[in-house]
Amino acid sequence: MTHIDFVEQLLARMTLSQKIGQMTQTERMVVSPQQVKEFHLGSVLSGGGSAPAGNRPQDWVEMNDAYWAASMDADDEHLAIPLIYGVDAIHGNNNVLGATVFPHNIGLGAMNDPDLIERIAEVTAREVLAAGVEWTFAPTLAVAKNLHWGRTYESYSSDPALVSRYSGRFVKGLQGELAEHSVVACIKHWVGDGGTSFGIDQGDTAIDWQTLSDTHIAPYLPALEQGALTVMVSFNSWNGDKCHGHHHLLTQVLKQQLGFDGFIISDWDGIDYLDDDYLKAVELSVNAGIDMFMIADKWQEFIANLHSLVADGRVQESRIDDAVRRILNVKFRYGLFDRPRPSERPFSGDALFGSAEHRLVARQAVAQSQVLLKNDAQILPLSKQASILVAGRFAHDTGALAGGFTVAWQGQTGPDALPGATSVWSAVKASAPRAILSAQGDGIEADPDAHDVAIVVIGEHPYAEGMGDIRPDENQVVESGSKINGSLKVLAPYGRSLELATLHPEDLQTIQNIIARGVPVVVVLISGRPLLVDPEMAASQAFVAAWLPGSEGAGITDVLFGDKAFTGRLSFAWPSLSGPGFERGFGLSAV
Ligand code: BGC
C-alpha cells in the first residue's frame, strides 16, 4: 500500500473528534497519558525547561512510553495513531541533564563550517532519540537585523546567505533519510522573526515583500528542498498583520508557491494574540493554514472551539482534512507507524548521549567559533607554563556559557548548572598547572610578581526570547504595538542599552582591578550578541568573542593556548561607541 493510500484510508476512518485531536498539541505538565487517548491528541511537547522528574534520558523514555502507549491504545472510540513528541533541542538536546550542549547559533555562524553544522545536527538527533523523543523545534532560520532582539543568539547570521548555507545542511543532519537515526526537523519562525522594528521580540516586521523574500524567506528554501517536514509560525507580524493569521504567507506562499507538503505548527499560544475573542482567533488561524496548534493551558477550549466552528460552517471540513492529512503524512514518512514504543527503539537511552565522542564535536565547534577581536603585542596564544589568574563573573560557571534554553527556559548560572560540562576555569586548570582562580572573581589579588596574565570571563547572563530584549525607550513598545492588528505580548527587557559597562559595570571594574595592579588582561566575552565594549576592549590586551559556547569550555582554551588556530569570523557586524567597529567577516588569527 502506498503511503497515500495508507493515509487516505486512515483519514476516512477518523471521526471529527479524532481529527481535531490530531491537530492539537499541548504541554506535558497539563496533560496526562489518559487524556492523550481521551482527546486523541496528535502531539505533546516540552516547553523550554519542562522535563520529567529526574531529567535523565531514561526518565524521558519512560514518560514517552506512557504517552505513546496511550496514543496506541485502540478501542471503539480511539484509533491507534502514534503521538509525536516535540522539544526545543536547539543547541543539542539542551533540556536534558548531561546532554552535550553546543554553541548557540550565533557562535555556529562565526565558525562558518557547513560540514560541521551537519555533524552537529546528527549528534543532536542522536541525543534527542536517546530521550525517546522524535521531533525538535530546530533549526531557527531567523536573520537577526537588530542586536536589541533577545533572540539574536538563535540566529546564525545577519547575512541570509550564511543562514542559507546552513539551513539545508542542518535539516539533513537531523532528518537524514528519515531512517532509524533521524528526528523530524521544524524550521522556524515563519517568517520575518529577525526583522522586527526596534528588535522587539514578537513585534512587527515592517518591510516590503522583496526584502522579506530576499532576507527572511530565502534561508528556508534549502531547508524545504532538503525536505524539512514541519514549519513553525512566528509570533511576529508582517506590516501589522500577525503571521499566525496570515493566509497569504502560510497557505499561498509556503504551501502553494513553495510547495511545502509537511505541516505547519503554531508557536506557543501564538494564536492568542490574533483576537481577544478566542473563537475568532481559532477560526482565523485554522483558516490561515495552521495545521497543528501548540496550546498550553487552554487546549480543551481550543478543541471545543474548533468543533463549534466546524458545526457552524466557519471552518470547512476540507480544511480539517487537509491539516490532518499533512500530519499523518509526516508521521508516516518519518516511519512513526512502524516504530515500536520509545523504550524499544534502537537509540533510546543510547550510551553516546553526553559521551566524550559527542563532546569532542562540540569542543571543535566552540574552538572554531571563537572570534579574536584584539591581540596587542601578540599576547595570544598563551603559554601553558604561564601563571595565569582566572577572574570574572563567569570564570567558573557552566550555566552562563550555555545561555538560555538550557535545562531551564531562561537558562541557569553556576559551576554545577550542567553536569559533565567544563567551565573556562576547569579548562584552563587542566592545561596550565600554575593557573589560579580569583577568590572573589574580581581579580583584586592580581600581582605582577605572581601572575603573568589574567583571563577575565565576563558578559551577559543567560536569557531567552523577549527577556533578552534591549529596550532603550518604552515608547518603542507603544509605537511598535500600535501598528499591530491584535495584541503585542511584551516581557521585561534585559536592559536599556547594549553597553556592557551599563549592563554590568562590575565587569569593567574587574578588568581595571587587574590592569591597575600591572597584570595584562585577556577578555573572554560570553554574550548572545555583539555588545558595545569600547572601554573593556581598550583596557584589555586581547579580546575574544566567545558567544554562548555551551558545555565544552575547553574549546575556548584550545585557541587561547594555540592548540588550535583562531579561525572564527564575525557573522554579525560589531558596533562601537567610537564609530568604526568591526565588519561582518572580521576576525584575527593569533599566529
Ligand atoms: C518559542 C519557540 C519554541 C516554543 C516551544 C516558544 O515560546 O518561541 O521557539 O519552540 O516556545 O517551547
**Whether residue 86 has its Cβ less than 6 Å from ligand 1:** no
- Amino acid 3: pLDDT: 86
Q: Does residue 267 carry a catalytic annotation?
A: yes
What is the dihedral angle through the alpha carbons of 115, 117, 121, 124, rounded to the nearest 10 degrees?
120
312-346 pLDDT tens trace: 999 999 999 999 999 999 999 999 999 999 999 99
Longest dimension (CA), the chain: 83
- Amino acid 416: pLDDT: 95
- Amino acid 345: pLDDT: 98
In the structure grid, which three cell numbers stand for residue 126, read together? 542522536
Is residue 310 within 8 Å of residue 324, measured between CB atoms?
A: no
pTM for the model stands at: 0.98
Express as a percent the part of the chain with pLDDT over 70.
100
Note the helical H segments in 51-179. 57-71, 105-111, 114-130, 160-175
In terms of C-beta density within 10 A (0-12 exposed, 13-18 middle, 19 or more buried), how is residue 125 classed? buried
- Amino acid 1: pLDDT: 74
- Amino acid 591: pLDDT: 67
Residue 2 has pLDDT above 90, yes or no: no
**Whether residue 47 has its Cβ less than 6 Å from ligand 1:** yes
Q: How many residues does the chain have?
A: 591
pLDDT-derived band at 263, boundaries 50, 70, 90: very high
- Amino acid 590: pLDDT: 78
536-584 pLDDT tens trace: 999 999 999 999 999 999 999 999 999 999 999 999 999 999 989 999 9
Residue ranges of domains in the chain, CATH in brackets = 3-344 (3.20.20.300), 370-460+504-582 (3.40.50.1700)
- Amino acid 517: pLDDT: 98
**Whether residue 88 has its Cβ less than 6 Å from ligand 1:** yes
Dist. CA 235 → ligand 1 center (Å): 10
**Whether residue 302 has its Cβ less than 6 Å from ligand 1:** no
Dist. CA 314 → ligand 1 center (Å): 28
- Amino acid 502: pLDDT: 98
Q: Which helix (H) or strand (E) holds 524?
A: strand 521-526
Q: Does residue 177 carry a catalytic annotation?
A: no
Torsion region of 414: left, alpha or beta (phi above 0 gives left; psi -120 to 50 gives alpha): left
- Amino acid 556: pLDDT: 99
Q: Distance between CA 354 and CA 11 in Å, rounded?
A: 40
Residue 417 has pLDDT above 90, yes or no: yes
Is residue 163 within 8 Å of residue 128, measured between CB atoms?
A: no
Mean pLDDT across the chain, nearest whole number?
Answer: 98
Residue 182 has pLDDT above 80, yes or no: yes
> For atom 5 of ligand 1, which residue has the closest CA?
47
Mean pLDDT of the 273-290 span:
98
DSSP symbol at 253: I
Q: Distance between CA 240 and CA 236 in Å, rounded?
A: 9
Residue 410 has pLDDT above 90, yes or no: yes
507-529 pLDDT tens trace: 999 999 999 999 999 999 999 99
**Whether residue 466 has its Cβ less than 6 Å from ligand 1:** no
**Residue whose CB lies within 8 A of the most ligand 1 atoms, among 43, 46, 137, for a mutation test:** 137
418-459 pLDDT tens trace: 999 999 999 999 999 999 999 999 999 999 999 999 999 999
**Whether residue 190 has its Cβ less than 6 Å from ligand 1:** no
> For atom 7 of ligand 1, which residue has the closest CA?
268
